[in-house]
Structure 1
């Protein structure tokens, strides 16, 4: 073989190798994060807004990073069981989640403050935590445990019941009730009920079999998990409610530290930009809840100021006292939260 044909052959082989490796090189330039959450997949405008939020976040991050960062969304606990997600975020075995933060109270007791009865009275007040000392302290605690808050999401909630409406503490006596976190469970027990701990994704089965008589959860979950099919009554969050839960978009510090500074900037900017969408979705579901349950024949009731005050009195004698006693700097955290008006 002469030198010229040999050189041509070598050039062709190098070119072929380059073409073959090009997709691999391109893939190597793309960081992929997995986002798992427990909520039902959304199939339209009326779908669960928390899944919509996750998908919007993923799409906008990919677009704004020019495809260098992709986020795969796994709804309905399809990637990881609900109760495993907080620990997995801390360990870095899960990249991201939209998660009720109080679910992590067994590992980080301070986060149960984010489902303390009657501590937050409105969406606007909850969002003001973000820039207040309580928000900064929550950021510090979580980041020291391996988790970072990306999007602040609060949700109001109500009470679905298999029998009569639950408006005042006396209505809860003798009932098996799901609260959502230790703080709510303490108030339930203080009202004469029997608190049962399980994620919102398991409420339907528990109520349909009689394991639960009633359940406290967000308005969106009361709709998305079709609890109207197993409930005869619902207390909505349209008026007063003692149930406000923090359900943020979270990223593990392990995943965060793998991102470039530019990608980190986009993640936080997109996360913040979606907070109004979350408020709008949550408020819409507070109203829609009544319509969905009424259409199914359930009795729909709203809590008034007098009923709310009775729940607050019990919460302060149970949840607040226990948190202040059992959690490091518990009273200081309560004080910081109550300072946000």
Structure 2
């Protein structure tokens, strides 16, 4: 090929332009992580708390890495169906997700520990998990399966009911109810409930059509999915609950391993720093839900320590026993979890 003076000058000018424009270089070299979740979208300051966690993570990651790593958030299962996300994380087909970990129980039985009835009953207890042995071992199990926990996000559960209030296991007898996880369903079934399985994003249509009469989910979900429009009685999750769920922000191990050391450090640091926000947001929603539902005319009920103990008595011979019997690892994890007071 003959290199003309004009071509030489043009090439040099283009190169000089790139050198003079570091923003262009960063944009060309930036790695974009796709983050999918099932919850309604919003902004950094408004909307579902879990969506805000994802957006705050993305904004801070971009800042910390000087734009070399960015995050694209896809809310409302707009990128991928809800129940496909965990498997996609494991395979490296999805970079990140914030998802109820119990949804992964079919693939990884140990994940059902994340929604074990009456095991975690308040936020102080939940906050201890990350640094306790149960948290370390659960994180190791997930990492071995190809998924890394970035932020430990815990949510207290409330019960929205179109019928009578649900305060005790006996109250679910004959009620069509959604529990959100296999272990919760075992308790409901043993108590005479008619269990319906569906992701939280489908609760509204279930209640609307009569397929559901009651639904248990995080306070945040019961606000975001507008079940206040259909509810007569709300059992609030403020202070304590028999239903606590781990909904972590997670990253595919394949994606994480492909990052630079500096990017991996930023992911770890930002993820851990977001835990304070996640706890504060969850507690705020536990209070907000009582206002939202009361404004719609629902009667508000709070659980007592005696109520929680009845749920624990119902869970031990059913959900806890079934989980521990799965394999040696599930038995070990349950034992470690019981040690967290």
Task: Please give the range of the TM-score, normalised by the shorter of the 2 chains.
Answer: over 0.9
1:253-274 per-residue CA deviation (whole Å, 9 max, x = no partner) reads 1110110000000011011111
Q: Corresponding residue for 2:182?
A: 182
1:235 shift after superposition:
0.3
1:295-330 per-residue CA deviation (whole Å, 9 max, x = no partner) reads 000111111122222111111111011111124432
1:101-139 per-residue CA deviation (whole Å, 9 max, x = no partner) reads 111000000010010011112222212111111111111
Matches within 5 A, 1:6-155: 8-15=5-12, 18=15, 26-43=26-43, 45-155=45-155
Indicate the larger mover: 311-320 or 117-126: 117-126
Q: Which structure 2 segments of 5+ residues have no match?
A: none
TM-score (norm 1): 0.94
The whole-number CA distance in structure 2 between the counterparts of 1:251 and 1:219 is: 25
Q: Any conservation in 2 of the 1:42–1:49 contact (CA below 8 Å)?
A: no
Q: Corresponding residue for 1:227?
A: 227
Answering whether residue 321 of structure 2 is matched by residue 321 of structure 1, we say yes
Indicate the larger mover: 8-17 or 161-170: 8-17
Q: Corresponding residue for 1:192?
A: 192
The whole-number CA distance in structure 2 between the counterparts of 1:46 and 1:316 is: 39
1:331 shift after superposition:
2.2
Q: Corresponding residue for 1:295?
A: 295
Aligned to 1:130, what secondary structure does the other structure show? Answer: coil
Paired residue total: 337
The whole-number CA distance in structure 1 between the counterparts of 2:299 and 2:226 is: 15
What CA RMSD, in Å, does the superposition of the two structures yield over aligned residues? 1.9
1:11 shift after superposition:
2.4
Indicate the larger mover: 15-24 or 48-57: 15-24
Distance 1:260 1:44, change over 3 A: closer
Aligned to 2:128, what secondary structure does the other structure show? Answer: helix
Q: Corresponding residue for 1:310?
A: 310
The whole-number CA distance in structure 2 between the counterparts of 1:328 and 1:35 is: 33
Q: Which structure 1 segments of 5+ residues have no match?
A: 1-5
The whole-number CA distance in structure 1 between the counterparts of 2:184 and 2:37 is: 22
Q: Any conservation in 1 of the 2:109–2:330 contact (CA below 8 Å)?
A: no
Q: Corresponding residue for 1:218?
A: 218
Indicate the larger mover: 68-77 or 327-336: 327-336
Q: Any conservation in 2 of the 1:239–1:304 contact (CA below 8 Å)?
A: no
Aligned to 1:310, what secondary structure does the other structure show? Answer: helix
1:158-206 per-residue CA deviation (whole Å, 9 max, x = no partner) reads 1111121111122110111111111101011111102111100000001
Aligned to 2:272, what secondary structure does the other structure show? Answer: helix
1:231 shift after superposition:
1.2
Q: Any conservation in 2 of the 1:110–1:328 contact (CA below 8 Å)?
A: no
Indicate the larger mover: 122-131 or 102-111: 122-131
Distance 1:127 1:240, change over 3 A: closer
1:239 shift after superposition:
3.9
The whole-number CA distance in structure 2 between the counterparts of 1:61 and 1:240 is: 33
Q: Any conservation in 1 of the 2:122–2:241 contact (CA below 8 Å)?
A: no
1:24 shift after superposition:
7.8
Answering whether residue 276 of structure 2 is matched by residue 276 of structure 1, we say yes
Aligned to 1:102, what secondary structure does the other structure show? Answer: helix
The whole-number CA distance in structure 2 between the counterparts of 1:20 and 1:81 is: 43
The whole-number CA distance in structure 1 between the counterparts of 2:27 and 2:291 is: 47
The whole-number CA distance in structure 2 between the counterparts of 1:80 and 1:91 is: 14
Q: Any conservation in 1 of the 2:150–2:272 contact (CA below 8 Å)?
A: yes
